[in-house]
Chain A
Amino acid sequence: MLDATPQAGSPRSEPLLSAVSISKRYGDFLANDRIDLDLFPAEIHALLGENGAGKSTLVKVMYGLIQPSGGELRWMAKKVVLSGPSEARALGIGMVFQHFTLFENLTVAENVALGLPSTESFAAISERREKTARVYGLPLEPKREVWRLSGGERQRIEIVRALLQNPKLLILDEPTSVLTPQEADLLFVVLERLKSEGRAVLYISHKLEEVKRLCDTATILRGGKKVLTCNPRRETAASLARMMVGGEVGEVKAASGRSVARPRLVVDKLSLAPDDPHGTYLEEVSLAVCGGEVVGIAGVSGNGQDELFAALSGERRAPAQAAIVIDGKPAGLLGVTERRRMGAAFVPEERLGHGTAPRMKLSENALLTGHAASGMVKKGFIDKLATLVHVDRTTKSFDVRKAKRDPEAVSLSGGNLQKFVVGREILREPGVLVVSQPTWGVDAGAAAVIRQALIDLAGRGAAVLVISQDLDELAEIADRIAVMFHGRLSAPLDAAEATREKLGLLMGGARPERAAEEQGTKHAIGA
C-alpha cells in the first residue's frame, strides 16, 4: 500500500527533508536560531528539548503552519516554500499534533474524512481507513463520537488520518503525553513498522528513556539553538539531560523527619456531574491527605482531574457539605474564598487565564488569590504596597526572573510564571495545598525548585495533593499515589510499591485487585 520507494538500502544517501539555517523571530524573541536538521528515510529521528526550546516552532515551520523568518526547507534536495499545511501534505509530510485537531461532536469516521481532500467519496475513505487500521494494528470505532474517546484513541484517529495520505515523513509532537505506558508501547510498535516501510519519522519529546529506546538519531535544541545531533543509544539519559538543560539538573531532596499527622484534606464519596457536556462525571471519589504527606493523583488527562480540581478548589460546589472536609471542617458547599480562609490554597493547571490574568500585573495577580486572607485588602480598599511586598517575597524565595519589579503576568516565561503561581500560594503557608500539573511546560531547573518547595511545605506539616500526568514527577515527590480513571479514583498505593506498570494498568482502567496479576502476565510477555 506504500507507493513511496525509499532507498531503504542506503539510508544515508540523501535526506528526505532538510531544514537549512531556519530562524523564526517573534518580535524581539528568537524562537529558532539558524537550525539545521536533516531527516532521512527509514529513520526515527528525535527532536529533544525542554519546553520553550523551539521544538514546536521548528516542526510548525516544517509543516507549513508558520513561515520562517530566515533559512529554507529542501525536500529531496529541492528548495520548497510551504505556504500552508496542505502544501506540506501534498509533498508527503504528515503530522500528529500534541493538542488534537478533532471535532468533538463528530464521529471518528467523519473526523478522518474531514482531514482528507474532498475528491474522494466517504465510502472509499472508509474502506481505506479500515484497511490502514487493520494493517497497522490501530483499531478504530468509526461510529463513535470523538468526545467519548480517551486520549490514546483520539491519537489513533490522528495517526490513521495522517497515514491515509501515505506520508513519506510523519511528525509526532509529544505523542506519549496522552498515553499510559502500555499504550505508549503499542505506539512504538507502529512507529517501528513505519520505519521498516522506509518512512521517516520525526519524534518530538522530552522523555529521554523513550528516545533512547526508540530513536536512531536525536537532535537536541536548547534556547532556540541546535546543540547537536547524536545517536541517543550511545548517550546516557544523564548526558542527554545535560545537553538539554545546559547544566546539571538539581536533585530533589526528601524532607527529613517528616511526621504524618491527622488528615487535613478529606474527600468523602464525592460524586459530581460535569457542567460541560463533554466533561467527566466524578463517581464516589474518596481520599484523605494527611498533614506532612504528599499524595499524587496520576492518570491520563481528561479522566476527571479537571473536575476534581474544580470541586476541591470550590469553583464548583460539591452536592453535600460533608463531601469535602478541610482541617476537620466540612467545606463542600463553600466557595473558593471561604476555603482559602480555612487555610487551603490551590494552583490550577493553566497558568495563564486560570491561575493568573495574563494582562494584569503580578501585584494584581498576587491579589487574585490573596484578597481573601492576606491583609491585602482593608475595608474594601486594596493595599497596593502589601501586594507588591508579596510579589517581592515570592520573587526572592522562588527565584522568579522578570524584567522589572511588577510586569504583566504574560511577559514572564512559563517556568518563571509557574514559580510565581506556586510560590504565591506556598508563601501564605497553607495547611492544604492542591496543585494540578505543577511543572507542566516548565524547564528542568524551575521544575526542581517547585518540587522541592512542595516537599518542604509538606515537611512543615501541610497536606499536599498533586494532580499530575507525569509519573516520574509523582515518583519523585509523592508518598502515596492514586490513579484517576473515568471519574473514579483508585485507592492510593504507597510510592514504594507503585511501579510504572501497576500505575499504567490502573491508568488504563484495570481494576486494582487485578492489577498485580496482570502485571505478572505482562512481564512474561515482555520478556
Chain B
Amino acid sequence: MQLVLERRAERSTIVAIASPLIAIALTLVTIGILFAIIGKSPIEALRVYFVQPLTDPFPFFLQQEIIVKATPLVMIAVGLSLCYIANIWNIGAEGQFLVGAVCGSWLAVKTNGTDVGHWVLVVMLILGAFGGAIYGLIPALCKVYFGASEILTSLMLVYIANLGLDYIVRGPWRDPHGLNFPTTAAFDPAASIGTLFEGPGRLHAGSIITLVVVMLAAVMLGRTLMGFQIRLVGAAPRAARFSGFKSDRLVLFTFAVSGALAGLAGIIEVAGPIGHLDPGVASGYGFTAIIVAFLGRLNPIGILFAGLFLALTFIGGEGAQISLKVPLDLTKVFQGILLFYVLACDSLIVYRIRLLRTAAKAVPANA
C-alpha cells in the first residue's frame, strides 16, 4: 500500500472552496486534543471559543467586537493577497500598519485641543495610507534596484517601525498630562472615528471602508487588466514578460497598495477603537493578516470570511482565558496550527491523494 499525490488534469473548483473548511476542521480536532491533554473538556472549550461570542445577547457587544477585530485583519490581508498572488512576499504589513498609524496620528497630535473641523479625520486617513505606502515601497525599491529579498527587508522594517513608534510616544509626542505613561493625548472627537451604534459596542465606520476595499479589490482582480497582470505574473512569470508586462512596476504597485491598505488599517485602528497612539498599537495584526490572506485563498471575498473567523478566535480566546483559565497564547497556537493546515490542504487543489495497491506486490529485482 502506498499513498501517492497525483496531479489533477485541471484545478478542482470544489476542493478550492472546501480546502479552507477541511483545514478548519482539522485544526478543531487538533486543538480539541490539545485541550484534552491539558485536562480541559474539548467540547466545553470549543463552545467557549466559537459559540459563546456568537450568541452574546443584545446589545451584541461580542458580535460587534468580532467585526472590530476583523476590520484591520481583512483590510491588511486584502492588500497582502495582491502581493502574494503575484508571488511577491510582503511580510512587513505590521510595520506598514504602524507607520500608517503614526503618520495619521501626526495631524491628530498637532491639532489636539484646537477646534478644527472633521476634515482632520479625512486628512488623517489619507496620511495613514500614504505613510504605509511609502514604507511599503522601501523593500520594493530595494528589490527592484538592488535585488534584495523583500521577505527579509520587509520583515526587518517591522522592527524599525516598532522602535520608531516606541520612541515617538515616549519622546516628542508624549501626553504632558499623561503621568509619564508612553502615550499621546486622547484624540479630539474631530480626529476620531465614532461608533455606529449607541451603547457599549465599538463597531465603527472603518468596517464599512473595509467592505468597500474588499469589493474594489474583487473587481480589480477579476475584471481589470491590472488584476490580470497580477495573476499572470504569479502564475507564469515568463509568460507575463512575453505578454509585455513589466514585473518591476508590478512589485512597486503591489507593495504600494498593500502598504497603503495596511497604513489605512493602522490609522483607522488608532482613530477608531483605540483613540490615542501608544506602543500597544503593535498588536500583531500585520502578521495575523498573513494567515487571513491564505485562509481566504487570496480571494477578497474569501478573506472577508477568513478575517471574521480569525477575529472569532481572538474574541473566543479572551473568553477562554477568563472562563477556562487557559493562557491567551493558546490562541496563537491555534492560529499557527490553522495556517499549517491551510497550506497543507492547498496541495489538494492541484493534486489528489490516491492509494496504490500494486506497489505492495513489488518483487525485489534479482540482478
Complex contacts, A129 vs chain B, CB 8 Å: none
- Please state if A357 and B232 are interface contacts (CB–CB under 8 Å): yes
Looking across the interface, which residue of chain B has its beta carbon closest to that of A376? B225
Cβ of A117 < 8 Å from any Cβ of B?
A: no
- Please state if B10 and A411 are interface contacts (CB–CB under 8 Å): yes
Complex contacts, B241 vs chain A, CB 8 Å: 315, 336
Cβ of A321 < 8 Å from any Cβ of B?
A: no
- Please state if B367 and A87 are interface contacts (CB–CB under 8 Å): yes
- Please state if B358 and A27 are interface contacts (CB–CB under 8 Å): no
Given contacts A337-B244, A360-B231, A407-B10, whether A368 and B365 have CB atoms under 8 Å apart is no
Complex contacts, A411 vs chain B, CB 8 Å: 9-10
Cβ of B224 < 8 Å from any Cβ of A?
A: yes
Cβ of B146 < 8 Å from any Cβ of A?
A: no
Interchain nearest-CB distance for B226 vs A (Å): 7
Of listed B10, B239, B246, B364, residue having the most chain A CB within 10 A = B239
Partner of A336, one of B7, B11, B231, B244: B244
Complex contacts, A372 vs chain B, CB 8 Å: 244
Bound-complex Cα distance A136 to B130 (A): 71
Bound-complex Cα distance A348 to B241 (A): 12
In the complex, 5 of the A-B residue pairs with CB atoms within 8 angstroms, ordered by the A residue number, are A91-B365, A91-B367, A353-B239, A357-B235, A358-B235
Per-residue interface assignment for chain A, residues 327 to 371, with 1 indicating a CB less than 8 Å from any chain B CB and 0 otherwise = 000000001110010000010101001111111100010011101
Name the interface residues of A376-420: CB closer than 8 Å to any CB of B: 377, 380-382, 384, 407-408, 410-411
Complex contacts, A335 vs chain B, CB 8 Å: 244, 246
Partner of A354, one of B6, B239, B359: B239
Interface of A is mostly: mixed
Chain B interface residue count: which class?
20 to 34
Given contacts A80-B367, A380-B224, A382-B223, whether A355 and B359 have CB atoms under 8 Å apart is no
Interchain nearest-CB distance for B315 vs A (Å): 37
Complex contacts, B7 vs chain A, CB 8 Å: 26-27
- Please state if B223 and A381 are interface contacts (CB–CB under 8 Å): yes
Looking across the interface, which residue of chain B has its beta carbon closest to that of A336? B244
Query: Top 10 nearest A-B pairs by Cβ distance?
Result: A337-B244, A336-B244, A357-B236, A357-B239, A357-B235, A368-B243, A354-B238, A80-B365, A81-B363, A91-B367
Cβ of B47 < 8 Å from any Cβ of A?
A: no
Complex contacts, B226 vs chain A, CB 8 Å: 380
Looking across the interface, which residue of chain B has its beta carbon closest to that of A69? B358
Cβ of B242 < 8 Å from any Cβ of A?
A: yes
Binding site for B on A (CB under 8 A): 26-29, 67, 69-70, 75, 78-83, 87, 90-91, 313-315, 335-337, 340, 346, 348, 350, 353-360, 364, 367-369, 371-372, 377, 380-382, 384, 407-408, 410-411
Bound-complex Cα distance A75 to B365 (A): 10
Cβ of B14 < 8 Å from any Cβ of A?
A: no
Given contacts A69-B358, A81-B363, A368-B239, whether A359 and B11 have CB atoms under 8 Å apart is yes
- Please state if A408 and B10 are interface contacts (CB–CB under 8 Å): yes
Complex contacts, B231 vs chain A, CB 8 Å: 360, 364
Interchain nearest-CB distance for A351 vs B (Å): 10
Complex contacts, A355 vs chain B, CB 8 Å: 239, 242
Interchain nearest-CB distance for A338 vs B (Å): 8
Interchain nearest-CB distance for A365 vs B (Å): 8
Cβ of B332 < 8 Å from any Cβ of A?
A: no
Given contacts A67-B359, A353-B236, A357-B235, whether A346 and B365 have CB atoms under 8 Å apart is no
Partner of B243, one of A75, A371, A382: A371
Looking across the interface, which residue of chain A has its beta carbon closest to that of B232? A357
Complex contacts, B11 vs chain A, CB 8 Å: 359, 408
Cβ of B366 < 8 Å from any Cβ of A?
A: yes
Of listed A336, A357, A364, residue having the most chain B CB within 10 A = A357
Cβ of B360 < 8 Å from any Cβ of A?
A: no
Name the interface residues of B219-276: CB closer than 8 Å to any CB of A: 223-226, 228, 231-232, 235-236, 238-244, 246
Bound-complex Cα distance A355 to B240 (A): 9
Complex contacts, B358 vs chain A, CB 8 Å: 69-70
Looking across the interface, which residue of chain A has its beta carbon closest to that of B237? A353
Bound-complex Cα distance A340 to B238 (A): 17
Looking across the interface, which residue of chain A has its beta carbon closest to that of B235? A357
Complex contacts, B232 vs chain A, CB 8 Å: 357, 360, 364, 368
Interchain nearest-CB distance for A323 vs B (Å): 19
